[in-house]
Amino acid sequence: MRKPKTIECLYLDFDGFFASVMQQKYPSLRGKPVGVTSFAGTDRAAVIACSKEAKKAGCKNVMAIKDARAICPELILVPQEPDLYRRAHNSLLSEISAVLPIDAIKSIDELACRLDVAQQQNPQQVARQIKARIKKYIGQYITCSIGFAANRQLAKIACKQDKPDGVTIWQPDMVPKVLFSLSLDDIPGIGKNMEQRLHRAQIYNVEQLLNLPPKHMRKIWHSVNGERLWYALHGYDIHAQQSERGMFGHGRVLPPDARDIGSAKEIARLLLIKAARRLRRENYYASRLALWLAIENGGWGDNLKLPIVNDDKALLDGLDIIWSRAVKEIGRTRIFRLHITLMDISFANQRQLDIFLGDDIDRQKWEALSNAIDELNQKYSKTIISNGVWNPPKGGNVGGKISFTRIPSAQDFW
């Protein structure tokens, strides 16, 4: 396994991305504590993202509005604008690509790059060039923190050390000692459960962790991932394993006037159609539908086995079945949030129909209809035809809400 002799990777994290994009667009928000919410008009929700001014006052991302306001009474709440964030993301990528190629887009606000030989010799200049282009062509209120190290994992940790708008460079000879002052939860991949497991193994700090043999970390993690993390944190050139898509889904916090069982089902229907469109665009089929509802005093969830399908008709029929179960079990209680998920997915070219279902002809007809609807909507760049009434709820953003992990496409907002 190769151990680089110099820095080879850059990791970039935009500071308070969603809130800073709002500040860039709206001058009245600049320099003030800002919290981005799902929609206006309710306190029973969370601040999805907050500006650096709000963070300085003690607010955090995904904090209850009432708690955030108690900490920072001056907090300005603004409803999300997901399509604005998508367009800002694409514009920022364009400016960064003018300086160096982007190796991996990790989320809407994080990315990684590999440095060429000249860039390895002068990382400070690379950081200055990126920041200068963003300031000149995008705006000064969107800033980023940048980390440089021998591999992507170390660069990611480095970029968190001097936020906001900082630059951190860890040369290979600084590793692993430079990590010893960090907390265990500063290491990506170590959450609360893993930290408890480490404590049971008498590991209480990063220095103790990195002084373990790599095989011992594999044993603690119960997988090779522990050993891979050891090599990454010791500066070896180790790459993340390719992950495979496991599902398609959408979720949404419901507006206050849409929390009854009937309105919630209508939103679930729209979210399911959006998920089905994505399923087809990426040439997948699904054979399981899952529904989860956040209700008063808890939650309710269930799933339904389906034939291998991707057409709106089959999936909406499945929703009717699973929703009837929900009504029977939870009654007319209020629903605050819901998630629709298409699971057990497979590529279109791997589909094998069950001959005993006898639905080949019907499925082909409904699939052809769904594909024709997709093509028309694609042609006009909006939903002009849908299976059933298309009436998005207050706040819109059906299928195009804020997402830290998935980059929305333009189609998500049709």
**Residue 109 and residue 140 share a domain:** yes
**Residue 268 and residue 202 share a domain:** no
In a domain? residue 243: no
In a domain? residue 239: no
Query: Which are the contacts of 361, defined by CB distance < 8 A and separation ≥ 6?
Result: none
**Residue 401 and residue 255 share a domain:** yes
What pLDDT sits at residue 244?
A: 73
Stretches in the chain below the pLDDT threshold 70: 42, 44, 240-243, 351-360, 394-405
State the alpha helices, DSSP H only, in 304-359.
312-330
What pLDDT sits at residue 323?
A: 96
In a domain? residue 23: yes
CA distance 382 to 386: 11
Global pTM reads 0.84
Q: Report the CATH number at residue 358.
A: 3.30.1490.100
**Residue 3 and residue 102 share a domain:** yes
In a domain? residue 361: yes
Whether 177 contacts 12, CB under 8 Å? no
Examine the fold and report which residue of 174, 197, 215 is the final residue of a domain before the chain moves on.
174
Exposure pattern of 73-89 as b/e (b: 16+ CB <10 Å)?
A: eebbbbbbbbeebbebb
Chain segment 215-267, per-residue pLDDT in tens: 999 999 999 999 999 999 999 998 766 667 789 998 888 888 889 999 999 99
Q: Report the CATH number at residue 203.
A: 1.10.150.20
Chain segment 14-66, per-residue pLDDT in tens: 999 999 999 999 999 999 999 999 877 767 678 989 999 999 999 999 899 99
**Residue 401 and residue 350 share a domain:** yes
What pLDDT sits at residue 358?
A: 53
**Residue 252 and residue 229 share a domain:** no
**Residue 204 and residue 161 share a domain:** no
In a domain? residue 241: no
**Residue 313 and residue 405 share a domain:** yes
**Residue 344 and residue 202 share a domain:** no
**Residue 148 and residue 293 share a domain:** no
In a domain? residue 125: yes
State the alpha helices, DSSP H only, in 331-413.
360-380
**N residues, the chain:** 414
Residues forming a β-bridge with 155: none
Q: Report the CATH number at residue 152.
A: 3.30.70.270
Region at 283 (left for phi over 0; alpha for psi -120 to 50; beta for the rest): left
| Catalytic option among 81, 95, 110, 227 | 110
In a domain? residue 242: no
Count of structural domains within the chain: 3
Hey, what are 223's tokens?
A: 């997988």
The yes-or-no answer on residue 110 being catalytic is yes
**Residue 261 and residue 123 share a domain:** no
Question: Which CA distances in Å does 347 have to 52, 260, 282, 287, 344?
Answer: 42, 36, 8, 11, 10
51: closest CA among 146, 164, 133? Answer: 164
In a domain? residue 340: yes
CA distance 126 to 115: 9
Q: Which amino acid is at 318?
A: G
Which 3 state secondary structure label does DSSP give 351? coil
Structural domain that includes position 154: 1-174
82: closest CA among 405, 393, 399, 340? Answer: 399
273: closest CA among 178, 373, 180, 187? Answer: 373
What pLDDT sits at residue 364?
A: 84
What pLDDT sits at residue 135?
A: 97
**Residue 333 and residue 269 share a domain:** yes
Examine the fold and report which residue of 136, 156, 174 is the final residue of a domain before the chain moves on.
174
